[in-house]
Amino acid sequence: MAAKNCAECGAELEPRSTSCPLCGTQRRESVKWTTAKKPAVPEDVEDYQADLRKLRAQLKKIRDEGAEAV
C-alpha cells in the first residue's frame, strides 16, 4: 500500500489518521488526500516564504520564552 501524503503540506500520513500530523488539516471529503510522493507545490512562492518566516518567528518566540524540545 502506497503511503498517502497531505494535499496541503505534503507530510506522510498514517493509514488511519484523521488529520495531518504536521499541519493539522482534518481528513474530510472536501480535503484531497493524495498518493503523490512529492509535496504539493505552493501556488505562490512569496506567500509560502512569508508563512515560513512567520512560523520561524513564532518558534523563536516560543524558544525565547524557555520552551524545551521534547
Handedness of CA 33, 19, 51, 55 (dihedral sign): negative
DSSP letter (8 states) at residue 39: P
Instruction: List, for residues 13-62, the tens digit of each pLDDT value.
Output: 787 778 887 888 876 544 455 555 566 565 678 888 888 899 999 988 98
| Sign of the torsion formed by the C-alpha atoms of 46, 59, 33 and 4 | positive
Q: CB count, 10 Å around CB of 41?
A: 8
Output the pLDDT for position 42.
59
pTM of the model: 0.36
Name the 3-class secondary structure at 61.
helix
pLDDT value, residue 54: 93
Amino acid at 22: L
